[in-house]
């Protein structure tokens, strides 16, 4: 054996760099307490510290960092929504995502693939045209393409007319991308910790202290913390945490299931979505097909996976890609999606002073991570609803001014 | 396959049913405030635990009420609409 090699075997391996320090003692008071250490909560902590100079921030989580829906989504990032409010919001998110790897000094494996939303009915073609017009008007690269163009963009798709739902056209969105979702949470966590933010996983919030309509402290499994301001960012548990503040939300919590196939050689560059067939699929950097469908048919606080989901997904998948028939499913999982009646988030101020909410993230939360963090930080720091979040305020329901975002994923058209 | 017991059709595959949301007391639309009405329309208790909901057996267009647990996914009981509201009145 060459000596050089033996030397390496005997040498102590270099210590791995910790992304953030081991959680220490919980402090007695913070300027801002963020409930939920997922992508949104960690991003909000980062922007609070970096852009608003608020560094006495604690991010609490009952589990581990990024262990909820941040690590359970199918990582698709796009801005080709239907409503002007939604498009403006997600457009800012895509712009932030594009430079985020450099900003956080961590490779998020942000990969622009192009995104096809297939249309199988005349109604879906009309919706695609509508979305393309709204997108182009707001400066988002998006257009209606015909089957010949689809064949050029994604030759693997089965464009035969001899199927139950032939492809009539598609909405094509070249900036559509995927990214490593865990890395987004880790990147924000590391950058926030470097700015002095404290991260406290395994710290469950058990109650909120509210006096005369103002929040003043947070009860946790590790004791009480005084808090100047509190932000809840707990997708999947939004109603439960808001309930501690005495708030009722326009949310139903429904499982959203997903699965991946065994790894295959890279063959699918484009992200393929079909609202009519309730299918979306992309190929990850390690070759697995990441697949999802529609949300479960009834509310549950559970992340179990069902055979019905896989049956409902695989039928249309094989119509789009018949050659996948022999491919095996490798893993399956679910997240809990907080569905709102208008498929849009609930963000910003609440009737309780100094209590802020970032909820209602249904099936559209991951792609909004940077913009939500940035704008919620602005909202918490200034105590005012940023213009971009105005359409998503909780009070829109009282005014019956719903957003009607039918461009959301996993929503039937 | 999950089985739900329909008060009209007996035990059936849950895929035949449509969940139509929580049973809520409707405020008097003529007398209540806009805020109360919007609350009735949009706000949900969304509990982690027992929930009472409207369900529809789609093939027979039959509406009924089910009590289930949103954490364990157990269906605790199903009621005809008459049964449920008679019980609710008796309890009140």
Question: Residue B54: which CATH number?
Answer: 3.30.2270.10
Of the three residues A322, A339, A356, the one that is the final residue of a domain is A339
The enclosing domain of A126 has a CATH number of 3.30.9.10
Three-state DSSP class for residue A68: coil
Cβ-contact A366, A391 below 8 angstroms? no
Question: Which residue of A248, A297, A300 is in closest CB contact with B43?
Answer: A248
Q: Count other C-beta atoms under 10 Å from residue B31's C-beta.
A: 7
By residue range, what is the domain housing residue A99?
28-111+176-251+341-413
Say whether both A282 and A407 belong to one domain.
no
Say whether both A161 and A281 belong to one domain.
yes
Contacts of A24 (CB under 8 A, 6+ apart): A198
Give B71's contacts in chain A (Cβ within 8 Å): 300-302
Whole-prediction pTM: 0.94
Q: Which of residues 50-79 of B touch A (CB under 8 A)?
A: 51, 53, 70-73
Q: Count other C-beta atoms under 10 Å from residue A279's C-beta.
A: 24
Q: Do residue A239 and residue B70 have CB atoms under 8 angstroms apart?
A: no
Which of B42, B49, B52, B75 would best serve as a mutation to test chain A binding (most A beta carbons within 10 A)?
A: B42
**ipTM for the whole complex:** 0.95
Looking at residue A413, its pLDDT comes to 38
What tokens were used for B42? 């949009």
Say whether both A81 and A211 belong to one domain.
yes
Q: Which residues pair with A261 in a beta bridge?
A: A329
Q: Do residue B38 and residue A341 have CB atoms under 8 angstroms apart?
A: no
CA distance, residue B87 to nearest chain A CA (Å): 25
CA distance, residue A352 to nearest chain B CA (Å): 17
Examine residue A242 and state whether it is found in any structural domain, yes or no. yes
* Number of domains present in the structure of chain B: 1
CA distance, residue B62 to nearest chain A CA (Å): 18
- pLDDT band at B73; cut points 50, 70, 90: very high
DSSP string across A82-131:
SSHHHHHHHHHHHHHHHTHHHHHTS----EE--EEEEE-SHHHHHHHHHH
What is the spatial distance between Cα A41 and Cα B69, in angstroms, rounded to a whole number? Answer: 29
Q: Are strands A271-274 and A115-119 parallel, antiparallel or unpaired?
A: parallel
Cβ-contact A141, A174 below 8 angstroms? yes
Cβ-contact B6, B62 below 8 angstroms? yes
Looking at residue A407, its pLDDT comes to 66
Give A249's contacts in chain B (Cβ within 8 Å): 43-44, 46
Looking at residue A1, its pLDDT comes to 66
Question: B45 and chain A: CB distance < 8 Å anywhere?
Answer: yes
Task: List Cα–Cα distances, B62 to A342, B77, B79, B80, in angstroms.
Answer: 27, 16, 12, 10
Say whether both A257 and A332 belong to one domain.
yes
Q: Do residue B38 and residue A398 have CB atoms under 8 angstroms apart?
A: yes
Q: Which residues pair with B10 in a beta bridge?
A: B6
Looking at residue B79, its pLDDT comes to 97
Examine residue A15 and state whether it is found in any structural domain, yes or no. no
Nearest CA in chain A to B74: A300
Asked if the model's pLDDT at residue B16 lies above 60, the reply is yes
Of the three residues A308, A339, A370, the one that is the final residue of a domain is A339
Cβ-contact A268, A176 below 8 angstroms? no
Examine residue A17 and state whether it is found in any structural domain, yes or no. no
Say whether both A227 and A146 belong to one domain.
no
Three-state DSSP class for residue A374: helix
What is the spatial distance between Cα A359 and Cα B84, in angstroms, rounded to a whole number? Answer: 33
Say whether both A139 and A94 belong to one domain.
no
Examine residue A1 and state whether it is found in any structural domain, yes or no. no
Examine residue A210 and state whether it is found in any structural domain, yes or no. yes
Say whether both A130 and A62 belong to one domain.
no
The enclosing domain of A379 has a CATH number of 3.50.50.60
Nearest CA in chain B to A239: B46
3-state helix, strand, coil in chain B (%, to 5): 30, 40, 35
By residue range, what is the domain housing residue B73?
3-91
Looking at residue A412, its pLDDT comes to 46
Question: B87 and chain A: CB distance < 8 Å anywhere?
Answer: no
Looking at residue A89, its pLDDT comes to 97
Residue closest to B50 by CA, chosen among A301, A119, A307:
A301
Nearest CA in chain B to A394: B43
Say whether both A58 and A98 belong to one domain.
yes
Q: Which residues pair with A385 in a beta bridge?
A: none
Q: Do residue B71 and residue A399 have CB atoms under 8 angstroms apart?
A: no
What is the spatial distance between Cα A313 and Cα A307, in angstroms, rounded to a whole number? Answer: 10
Cα of first residue to Cα of last residue in chain A, in angstroms, is 65
Say whether both A371 and A330 belong to one domain.
no
User: Tens of pLDDT along chain A (413 residues)?
Assistant: 678 788 887 888 888 889 999 999 999 999 999 999 999 999 999 999 999 999 999 999 999 999 999 999 999 999 999 999 999 999 999 999 999 999 999 999 999 999 999 999 999 999 999 999 999 999 999 999 999 999 999 999 999 999 999 999 999 999 999 999 999 999 999 999 999 999 999 999 999 999 999 999 999 999 999 999 999 999 999 999 999 999 999 999 999 999 999 999 999 999 999 988 999 999 999 999 999 999 999 999 999 999 999 999 999 999 999 999 999 999 999 999 999 999 999 999 999 999 999 999 999 999 999 999 999 999 999 999 999 999 999 999 998 888 888 666 655 43
What is the spatial distance between Cα A106 and Cα A101, in angstroms, rounded to a whole number? Answer: 5
Say whether both A218 and A238 belong to one domain.
yes
Q: Which residues pair with A244 in a beta bridge?
A: none
Contacts of A214 (CB under 8 A, 6+ apart): A352, A353, A354
Residue closest to A302 by CA, chosen among A254, A260, A338, A241:
A254
What tokens were used for A280? 């979306």
Cβ-contact A145, A131 below 8 angstroms? no
Three-state DSSP class for residue A156: coil
Cβ-contact A235, A338 below 8 angstroms? yes
Examine residue A12 and state whether it is found in any structural domain, yes or no. no
Say whether both A101 and A193 belong to one domain.
yes
* Number of domains present in the structure of chain A: 2
Say whether both A74 and A105 belong to one domain.
yes
Q: Do residue B73 and residue A253 have CB atoms under 8 angstroms apart?
A: no
Question: A311 and chain B: CB distance < 8 Å anywhere?
Answer: no
Cβ-contact A236, A122 below 8 angstroms? no
């Amino acid at each position: 054996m060459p000596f050089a090699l033996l030397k390496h075997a005997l040498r102590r391996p270099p210590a791995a760099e910790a992304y953030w320090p081991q959680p220490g003692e919980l402090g007695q008071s913070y300027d801002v307490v963020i409930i939920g250490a997922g992508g949104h909560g960690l991003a909000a902590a980062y922007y609070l510290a970096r852009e608003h100079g608020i560094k006495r921030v604690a991010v609490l989580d009952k589990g581990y960092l990024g262990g909820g829906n941040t690590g359970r989504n199918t990582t698709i990032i796009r801005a080709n929504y239907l409503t002007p409010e939604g498009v403006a919001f997600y457009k800012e998110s895509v712009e932030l995502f594009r430079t985020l790897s450099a900003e956080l000094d961590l490779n998020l494996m942000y990969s622009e693939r192009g995104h096809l939303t297939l249309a199988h009915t005349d109604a879906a073609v009309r919706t695609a045209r509508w979305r393309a017009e709204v997108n182009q008007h707001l400066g988002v690269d998006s257009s209606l393409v015909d089957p010949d163009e689809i064949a050029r963009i994604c030759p693997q798709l089965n464009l035969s007319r001899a199927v139950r739902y032939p492809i009539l056209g598609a909405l094509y969105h070249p900036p559509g991308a995927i990214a490593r979702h865990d890395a987004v949470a880790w990147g924000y966590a590391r950058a926030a910790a470097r700015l002095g933010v404290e991260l406290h996983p395994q710290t469950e919030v058990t109650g909120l202290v509210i006096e005369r309509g103002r929040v003043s402290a947070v009860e946790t499994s590790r004791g009480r913390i005084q808090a100047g301001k509190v932000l809840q960012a707990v997708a999947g548990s939004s109603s439960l945490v808001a309930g501690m503040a005495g708030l009722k939300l326009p949310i139903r919590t429904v499982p959203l299931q997903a699965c991946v196939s065994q790894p295959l050689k890279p063959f699918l560059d484009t992200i393929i979505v079909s609202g009519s067939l309730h299918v979306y699929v992309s190929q990850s950097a390690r070759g697995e097909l990441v697949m999802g469908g529609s949300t479960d048919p009834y509310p549950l606080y559970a992340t179990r996976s069902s055979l019905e989901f896989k049956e409902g997904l695989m039928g249309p998948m094989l119509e789009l890609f018949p050659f996948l028939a022999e491919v095996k499913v490798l893993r399956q999982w679910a997240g809990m999606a907080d569905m709102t009646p208008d498929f849009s988030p609930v963000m910003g101020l609440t009737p309780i002073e100094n209590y802020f909410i970032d909820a209602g993230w249904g099936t559209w939360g991951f792609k909004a991570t940077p913009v939500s963090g940035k704008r919620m930080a602005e909202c918490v720091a200034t105590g005012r609803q940023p213009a971009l979040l105005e359409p998503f305020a909780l009070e829109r329901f009282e005014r019956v001014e719903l957003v009607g975002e039918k461009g959301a994923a996993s929503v039937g058209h | 396959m999950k089985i739900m017991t329909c008060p009209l059709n007996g035990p059936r595959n849950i895929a035949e049913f449509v969940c139509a949301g929580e049973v809520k007391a409707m405020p008097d639309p003529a007398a209540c405030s806009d805020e109360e009405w919007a609350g009735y329309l949009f706000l949900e208790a969304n509990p982690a635990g027992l929930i009472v909901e409207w369900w529809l057996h789609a093939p027979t267009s039959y509406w009924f009420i089910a009590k289930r647990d949103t954490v364990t996914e157990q269906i605790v009981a199903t009621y005809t609409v008459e049964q449920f509201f008679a019980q609710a009145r008796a309890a009140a």
